[in-house]
Homo-oligomer: A and B are copies of this chain.
Amino acid sequence: MRNLEVAPLTAAVFAPFGDVIETQGRDHYTINEGTTERYHDLANIDVGEGDGQPLVSIFQATPRPVPITIKMMERHPLGSQAFMPLSVQPYLVVVAGPGDEVDAGTLKAFITNGRQGVNYAKNTWHHPVLALSEVCDFLVIDRGGPGDNLQEYYFPEELALNISL
């Protein structure tokens, strides 16, 4: 089974897939009588299509057995989906290039620095959330509203990939 190499997550490498939500290297300004720095507008929340509304939820994610095997991917054709970890710990992000089917050759895996969130752009293939060492809560901002906003793609068995950590 092919191994998928894991690279550090940065805003630059993730740009084709969406936004990295982080303070590092971002513009900020001071508010609240000097007590607070505002790092402003870090993600393109794109959920308005087809009478969509922003939804805020918490996903409580349990690590999967190791080695983690990538058997499927999903995407949300009507809206973006943001994940922000609610404790400081790294997790895995797996994305793929565009197309009606997932080309396994386009898969990319990233590991966060423990503080980064991600916002998958509308219609971007991604793997469901992958916690690593312990159960992790994520604040999730996605779309509520009419229409079918979930597509899944299952790889043929011989194309499943192991994550190489």
* Interface residues, chain A, with chain B CB atoms under 8 Å away: 21-23, 28, 31-33, 35-43, 45, 47-48, 53-64, 82, 84-88, 115, 117, 119, 128-129, 131, 137, 139-141, 144
Q: How far is the CB of A75 from chain B (nearest CB, A)?
A: 14
Asked if residues B56 and A45 are in contact (CB atoms below 8 Å), the reply is: yes
Residue numbers in B under 8 Å from A39 (CB-CB): 57-60
Contact with A60, one of B36, B55, B64, B82 (Cβ below 8 angstroms): B36
Chain multiplicity (copies): 2
Asked if residues A41 and B84 are in contact (CB atoms below 8 Å), the reply is: no
Interface of A is mostly: strand
Residue numbers in B under 8 Å from A36 (CB-CB): 59-62, 128-129
Residue numbers in B under 8 Å from A43 (CB-CB): 56
Asked if residues B128 and A31 are in contact (CB atoms below 8 Å), the reply is: yes
A-B contact pairs, 11 of them (CB 8 A): A21-B56, A21-B58, A32-B61, A36-B60, A38-B59, A41-B56, A45-B53, A56-B82, A84-B84, A84-B86, A86-B87
Residue numbers in B under 8 Å from A45 (CB-CB): 53-56
Residue numbers in B under 8 Å from A115 (CB-CB): 86, 137
Residue numbers in B under 8 Å from A21 (CB-CB): 56, 58, 139
Asked if residues A59 and B84 are in contact (CB atoms below 8 Å), the reply is: no
A140 to B3, CA, bound (A): 37
Residue numbers in B under 8 Å from A23 (CB-CB): 58, 60, 137
